[in-house]
Structure 1
């Protein structure tokens, strides 16, 4: 039945469209609609701020940036988040042992810095090269797929540093002995 109705409307469409509402009807409808409010544009006056207010804001920004920079510096000094004990507990102990040993030997070598700066400079150059390699290994440890191998390389580097520092301390001892023997022979 609905199909017959649709067909009837389609076939007789022109007869339905002959009656259209008049212009008077549209005018009455428009009168009943609410009138749009007239847009009142208020000019905004630019805000002015006192110098004291601006200085307070600037001081707050500087203070916040300073605190952020301070926090950044102190968090940057921490060692990357690699737990050596999680990789291999035995290697972690060895690394700690050799690192403390190297630091103690370096402190001993620094004692000659004032007495013989040239000798100290020659010694420190060698150690700085090995230390740079150690730091690179430490940096690579976090991203390495074979962390145990990198950790072994770090320990080996520390062992070599310890050997070199022991040799340097022997040279310093021999040098000091030579100086004292030479001084004694000159005084006789």
Structure 2
């Protein structure tokens, strides 16, 4: 039976190709297609508009927050800064425990000057849109403060050791 159907189609192929659906059938198909297509383009247009509006809002919000606060410091720099600041605070406490207030003032003059320079560098960093040279100078400042404090602690330790040796030799 399959062979007969196939042979019939091959012999009457021209008759099948000439037939076309009526205009009423095309109108029904066109109405069904136009109903489906009118909903999706509208949804996509609304979605695109919402995306554009939210993107513009976020860009404006970010630029305003950066202009108010300045550029954000990197996490790596913030961690390094926290590390140095904690070490500097620890060294300052160690010096303050060993000295009188007048002596502390003399020992910490350079550190106070470097503190104010660091604050100026931080302001410069915020106004110069995150210049790497300024960030390097900030790290150098922190390292210099730590070095000075370490040297001062060494000096105090040497003085303390000399005083202990003198006390021991006097006792003998």
Give the deviation of 1:119 after TM superposition: 4.1
Alignment of 1:94-113 (within 5 A): 94-113=80-99
The question of whether the paired residues in 2 share the 8 Å contact of 1:91 and 1:152 is answered with no
Larger Rg: 1
Q: 1:127 aligns with which of 111, 122, 127?
A: 111
Q: Which residue of 2 aligns with 1:161?
A: 145
* Separation in structure 2 between the aligned mates of residue 133 and residue 140 of structure 1, nearest angstrom: 10
Alignment of 1:7-26 (within 5 A): none
* Separation in structure 1 between the aligned mates of residue 141 and residue 171 of structure 2, nearest angstrom: 45
1:12-32 per-residue CA deviation (whole Å, 9 max, x = no partner) reads xxxxxxxxxxxxxxxxxxxxx
Q: 1:183 aligns with which of 164, 167, 170?
A: 167
- Consecutive unaligned residues of structure 2, counting only runs of 5 or more, are 1-67
Tell me: higher relative CO, structure 1 or 2? Use CA pairs within 8 A at least 6 residues apart. 2
Aligned residue pair count? 105
1:174–1:118 Cα change, 3 Å = farther
Residue 144, structure 1, aligned to residue 132, structure 2: no
- Consecutive unaligned residues of structure 1, counting only runs of 5 or more, are 1-79
* Separation in structure 2 between the aligned mates of residue 98 and residue 144 of structure 1, nearest angstrom: 23
The question of whether the paired residues in 2 share the 8 Å contact of 1:88 and 1:148 is answered with no
**TM-score (normalised: structure 2):** 0.54
1:80-138 per-residue CA deviation (whole Å, 9 max, x = no partner) reads 8356xx44322221111111111111111111222xx5543331111111112112112
**TM-score (normalised: structure 1):** 0.50
1:126-175 per-residue CA deviation (whole Å, 9 max, x = no partner) reads 11111121121122222123433322211110011111111111001001
The question of whether the paired residues in 2 share the 8 Å contact of 1:87 and 1:148 is answered with no
Higher share in helix: 2
